Structure 1
């Protein structure tokens, strides 16, 4: 059974019917606290957690959303969702309280099977509370009024279906102006192998853009910033070097100016190379205003492997990362 506090939190997000496919959290914290890391630049680390997948109720975490009450919602690549509340003490991450979890549903509300139909990779929440989930392998977007309910199809960006089998819609974020920013992990525009196909807008009004990742990296998630800008998470992997990655910031002016044929790029504000931030398989990013601060969270996918870790790291974005827009016409 959910405790009364957790029941209220779950009901607030999943309102609209019974929680027939919602699972109560296992007792105990869903994460072991990590010590804050000393960083330079616009991000200040507020600590984080090594996640206990069993207690959270999901593993192989990809998409991430953070609300203004620090309720973190995550999806995994086996068609599950989970929610946990980040508890702060003196401004630092102290505990990760599991709230609820369960399977994502198909059009009839039945659990999606893992694999081809259930590889959930991207998560965003519209202003009206609707959840959008992007999937790989079978490239599509589903909309959920409740995470424990049925999912309806949403018009995907044109051409998304041409993405590589396991490198589709990893990045999906809601911008401050209400538009969506979507980026394919592996689909390059014709004649531009160094870029990745991107879109801005929404169903019925998608504009085709492009994203310029760093050499050797690919985009794996995106999040709108309260000031109108955006964050994009990039990741790389090699058998010799393991996982690398970075977080980049795109200023509000570039987002506002983005239209058809724009090539967007960002400025690096955080590097994941193991020297300060652990080099893991980060696949989800979220940002929110909380207590007068802009907080940023990232989550790592452990690929269900005992050799990797599920991590949730929390940061404060202390100042605009860049002053000039980084957007050009193709």
Structure 2
């Protein structure tokens, strides 16, 4: 999303990607990760790249990235929140093509979540309604998924404008799609957001399925979620404090024993409702800066407005290779930055 949390006081494509080569732009770091690159006991950072910061492709600004996905040919699909979907070379990150997305009336989307389905179609969320649509590779709308009325933006529903479907992921097996709300809806507790799922039906359509509660840290929201190969979730939580900078934390979450909250009107922490369990993997501010610089105050100059995430494969030790990207909001004091992590789950 274009406007971020401001706190005044404070694996569908995994198999295709297991052999992705590491990017090698000017700011890239060595492929092997010394112990000094540890962010936590379970997360390390290989390198980062600012290669696409403030660049253009075929006359189109490259940035505003809100989501990443691995395409079937191993390339990286990078979604802008301003209706552009780029195809990036996995090694150099250089754009190879761009497709403009629109709604049924030809209007631009506030495009936030992205999944490359097993047939190559694109599932894309827009957070202003919110909506989930299926697109062909060339940007033609193929389908639109149902959304519970309570998750629609007020006055149609109880969600807040620009704080809806930010994350999107397909669970292992390809039968269940999951979207994460960024912030709570009206009537729910301030620390509980809803994760909505859909189940695949015949003909490639999706019907509404279970919904789960996820407990966020104070002042943070959920910009992205990605399914791990075993059915758990990597969840990004993020916030921004003026004059201080970003907070970005990576969690491992397990929805498999959570309560289906689709029939619960107000989530207030009531007994018997089990939210998705989560475990902190790393606070990205604890990662080594690797020589990164920031154009605005940050707890760590490596940090920016991190919003997109994709699991791109495994290394020889079995750790997940995770690619993050920041949304620069086309702002001169922010940076489009890619982060290459290794995560042990």
TM tier, smaller: 0.7 to 0.9
Residues 1:128 and 1:257: Cα distance change in structure 2 (over 3 Å): farther
What residue is the counterpart of 1:38 in the other structure? 37
1:84 maps to: 88
Change (3 A) 1:237 1:147: farther
Are the counterparts in 2 of residues 300 and 311 from structure 1 also a CA contact under 8 Å? yes
Q: 2:309 — aligned with what?
A: 285
| Superposed displacement of residue 213, structure 1 | 1.2
Q: CA deviation at 1:232?
A: 0.6
Match of 1:197 in 2: 194
Structure 2: state its 5+ residue gaps.
Answer: 1-15, 17-22, 31-35, 153-157, 200-205, 262-273, 290-301
Q: TM-score, normalised by structure 1?
A: 0.75
**Which structure 2 residues correspond to residues 299-314 of structure 1 after superposition, within 5 A?**
299-314=325-340
Q: Which moved more, 1:60-69 or 1:216-225?
A: 60-69
The reply on whether 1:207 has 2:210 as its aligned counterpart is: yes
Match of 1:107 among 104, 129, 154: 104
- Structure 2 Cα separation of the partners of residues 83 and 300 of structure 1: 17
Q: Which has the higher strand share?
A: 1
RMSD: 2.7
* Distance apart, 1:275 and its partner CA: 5.7
Q: Where does 1:1-330 land on structure 2 (aligned, <5 Å)?
A: 32-35=26-29, 38-39=37-38, 40-50=40-50, 51-55=52-56, 57=60, 58-67=62-71, 70-87=74-91, 95-107=92-104, 110=106, 112-113=107-108, 118-150=109-141, 152-161=143-152, 162-178=158-174, 179-188=176-185, 190-202=187-199, 203-250=206-253, 254-261=254-261, 262-273=274-285, 276=288, 278-290=302-314, 293=318, 294-317=320-343, 319-320=344-345
Displacement after TM superposition at 1:152 (Å) = 3.1
1:170-191 deviations in Å (ceiling 9; x for gaps): 1111111431222211234734
Separation of aligned partners in 2, 1:221 and 1:160: 17
Task: Give unpaired runs (5+ residues) of structure 1.
Answer: 1-11, 13-28, 88-94, 321-330
Report if the CA contact (8 A) 1:213-1:265 is conserved.
no
Instruction: Give 3-state SS (helix, strand or coil) of 1:134's partner.
Output: strand
Higher relative contact order (CA 8 A, sep 6+): 2
Given that residues 78 and 87 in structure 2 are in contact (C-alpha distance below 8 angstroms), is that contact kept between their aligned partners in structure 1? yes
Please list the CA deviations of residues 60-106 of structure 1 after superposition, one character each: whole Å capped at 9, or x if unmatched. 1101112475421111121111111222xxxxxxx323221131133
Say which SS state the counterpart of residue 201 (structure 1) adopts.
strand
> Taking structure 1 as reference, are residues 237 and 291 closer, same or farther at Cα in structure 2, changes over 3 Å only?
closer
Q: Deviating runs (4+, > 6 A) in structure 1?
A: none
Distance 1:276 1:97, change over 3 A: same
- Cα-to-partner distance string for 1:230-289 (whole Å, 9 max, x where unaligned): 101110111132211111112xxx333345134114212121327635221011111133
Deviation of 1:224 after TM superposition, in Å, equals 0.7
Identify the residue that residue 299 of structure 2 maps to in structure 1: none
The TM-score, its normalising length taken from structure 2, stands at: 0.72
Other structure's SS at 1:205 match: strand
Q: Decide whether the 8 Å contact of 1:55 with 1:98 is kept in 2.
A: no
Cα distance in 1 for partners of 2:286, 2:336 equals 15
Secondary structure at 2:55 match in 1 = helix
